[in-house]
Amino acid sequence: MKNIYNINNIPNQYISKFQGAKTMYVGNAVGSEKIYVNIDYIEPGAKSTKYHHHSMQEAFFLIMSGKGIIRINDEEFEVKSGDVISKPAGKSIAHQFINSSEEVLQILDVGTKEEDDVAIYPDENILYARNKGLAFKVDDDIMSKGWTTDPNE
């Protein structure tokens, strides 16, 4: 494995394109094990990802170029080149970037890799356990129907 790359030469297997956005998995390309380092390129009018938060993962974002909006805990804030955003672990801080400008929004996204992290998508009421490859729609509050976490009840 090569541990040094220029971001202009990251191999294609470490680049993902989706719905008006592109992510370069730079940390994976150079063999990072405990943190992820991504560069996101969000086209005008596009979103970075679905609105979500993580159970265990801590993240840090640096707006490298462009401007847009961060939706964070159902509020929207303008962001621009040079702005930094912290998303502490386990605080249920849902987030999503939206490019509201006419230029590409480029974001450095750095965070911890947490094997048992669960992503929660509040707009869709979905829980996603990536390491298990499982997603659950949470439509029913079974706790209110008498279910408990006690295995003997």
Tell me, letter by letter, the H, E, C secondary structure of the chain: CCCCCCHHHCCHHHEEEECCEEEEEHHHHCCCCCEEEEEEEECCCCECCCCEEECCCCEEEEEEECEEEEEECCEEEEEECCCEEEECCCCCCCEEEECCCCCCEEEEEEEECCCCCEEEECCCCEEEEHHHCEEEECCCCHHHHCCCCCCCC
- The tokens describing 58, both together, are 């801590």
Predicted confidence (pLDDT) per residue in 100-126, tens digit: 999 999 999 999 999 999 999 989 888
Read off the pLDDT of each residue in 130-151 and give the average, rounded to a whole number. Answer: 76
Confidence of residue 146 (pLDDT cuts 50, 70, 90): confident
The fold of 7-114 is Jelly Rolls (2.60.120)
Task: Give domain limits for the chain.
Answer: 7-114
Confidence of residue 98 (pLDDT cuts 50, 70, 90): very high
Predicted confidence (pLDDT) per residue in 44-95, tens digit: 999 999 999 999 999 999 999 999 999 998 899 999 999 999 998 888 889 9
Position 42 pLDDT exceeds 90: yes
Query: Residue 153: its pLDDT value, please?
Result: 57
Predicted confidence (pLDDT) per residue in 123-135, tens digit: 988 889 988 888 8
Sheet (strand 75-80) strand order? 75-80, 67-72, 95-98
Which pTM does this prediction carry?
A: 0.85
